[in-house]
């Protein structure tokens, strides 16, 4: 499942091929995604318009048009975007194809169809943070996401730390994999009650969340170099996790056996010696 680093890597990969390109034709499959937009609406808002930039907010990828309209993708479980030559074979799960004026095509492929596509008209994009992203917390790399913010937000809550940092309203885009990795890096137990965590520990966690995400983005950037491919290779990447999925293995710091426990309904991996 693509998490924030994967979406960021996709964004960095496709942005150079989309910026400044105008939209010539749109082809939509008849299969249902978790959320989609009618071809009629897409044609009306997108045809003839130029993509000015591609941004990311949480796990959403945002294509900004010169009209101020906004095309938004969420990748769900298996979604992916790639740039293809027009004559590249169409893959089975290509649900949206956007032909650009330079004879390339942006294709949204999604095998399991949990992904979604949203389209906002220019007048709907004026105040995104209070509309589309109303319930989304700060970005992990934003200055507003800091130890003090977490400390204040958590002081009256008793939920487990891992559940708290995976809550979208607390911070955007931290999924199960990077929650596990960040907590191991910060040496904090996933089950600690959030009102018992000190400001210093929150500061450490913020630092480690950023470091872990940045490392993952760098790994993705180096393993996926070519977004113009005709082979439908996955845009996801494999990185070496230190704790995620490692139950039964030895902890890389103290050699104790890594434990697995379900916290808030999600598989959690931790070292009971290193993480207190």
Give residue number: closest CB to Zn ion: 251
Nearest CB to Zn ion, comparing residues 218 and 254: 254
Q: Would you count residue 273 as binding Zn ion (CB under 5 A)?
A: yes
Q: Would you count residue 257 as binding Zn ion (CB under 5 A)?
A: no
Q: Would you count residue 61 as binding Zn ion (CB under 5 A)?
A: no
Q: Would you count residue 258 as binding Zn ion (CB under 5 A)?
A: no
Report which DSSP code applies to 22: B
Among 39, 77, 169, 253, binds Zn ion (CB under 5 A): 253
59 is catalytic: yes
Stretch that binds Zn ion, among 41-49, 150-158, 213-221, 255-263 (CB under 5 A): 255-263
Nearest CB to Zn ion, comparing residues 172 and 274: 274
Report which DSSP code applies to 230: S
The distance from CA 71 to its chain's CA centroid, rounded to whole angstroms, is: 16
**Given 3, 8, 45, 208, the catalytic residue:** 3
**Given 11, 21, 59, 242, the catalytic residue:** 59
Closest contact distance (angstroms) between CB of 187 and Zn ion is 9
**What phi and psi, each to the nearest 5 degrees, are found at residue 193?**
-75, 135
Q: Would you count residue 90 as binding Zn ion (CB under 5 A)?
A: no
Q: Would you count residue 251 as binding Zn ion (CB under 5 A)?
A: yes
Tell me if 26 sits within 8 A of 42, measured CB to CB: yes
Nearest CB to Zn ion, comparing residues 132 and 270: 270
Q: Would you count residue 274 as binding Zn ion (CB under 5 A)?
A: yes
Crossing angle of helices 199-223/176-185, nearest 10°? 120
Among 35, 254, 260, 276, binds Zn ion (CB under 5 A): 254
Closest contact distance (angstroms) between CB of 256 and Zn ion is 5
Torsion of CA 169, 174, 179, 183, to 10 degrees: -70
129 is catalytic: no
Task: Report the C-alpha gap between 222 and 215 in whole angstroms.
Answer: 11
Task: Report the C-alpha gap between 142 and 129 in whole angstroms.
Answer: 14
Stretch that binds Zn ion, among 15-23, 160-168, 228-236, 247-255 (CB under 5 A): 247-255
Closest contact distance (angstroms) between CB of 271 and Zn ion is 3
Active-site residues, by number, are 2-3, 59, 266
Please report, as ranges, the residues that interact with Zn ion according to CB under 5 A.
Answer: 251, 253-254, 256, 271, 273-274
């Amino acid at each position: 499942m693509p998490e924030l680093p994967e979406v960021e890597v996709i964004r960095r990969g496709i942005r150079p091929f989309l910026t400044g390109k105008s939209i010539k034709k749109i082809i939509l499959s008849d299969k249902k995604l978790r959320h989609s937009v009618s071809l009629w609406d897409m044609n009306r808002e997108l045809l003839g318009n130029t993509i000015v930039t591609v941004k990311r907010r949480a796990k959403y990828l945002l294509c900004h048009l010169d009209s101020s309209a906004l095309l938004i993708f969420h990748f769900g479980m298996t979604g992916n975007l790639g740039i293809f030559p027009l004559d590249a074979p169409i893959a089975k799960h290509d649900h949206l194809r956007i032909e650009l004026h330079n004879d390339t095509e942006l294709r949204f492929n999604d095998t399991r169809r949990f992904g979604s596509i949203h389209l906002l008209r220019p007048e709907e994009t004026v105040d995104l943070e209070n509309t589309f992203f109303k319930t989304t917390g700060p970005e992990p790399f934003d200055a507003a996401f800091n130890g003090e913010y977490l400390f204040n937000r958590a002081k009256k809550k008793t939920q487990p730390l891992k559940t708290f940092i995976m809550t979208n309203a607390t911070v955007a885009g931290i999924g199960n994999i990077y929650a596990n990795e960040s907590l191991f890096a910060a040496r904090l137990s996933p089950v600690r009650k959030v009102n018992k965590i000190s400001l210093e520990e929150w500061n450490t966690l913020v630092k480690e969340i950023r470091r872990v995400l940045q490392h993952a983005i760098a790994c993705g950037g180096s393993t996926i170099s070519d977004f113009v491919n005709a082979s439908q290779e996955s845009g996801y990447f494999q990185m070496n996790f230190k704790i995620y999925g490692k139950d039964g293995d030895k902890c890389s710091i103290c050699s104790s056996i890594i434990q697995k426990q379900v916290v808030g309904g999600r598989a959690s991996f931790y070292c009971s010696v290193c993480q207190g």
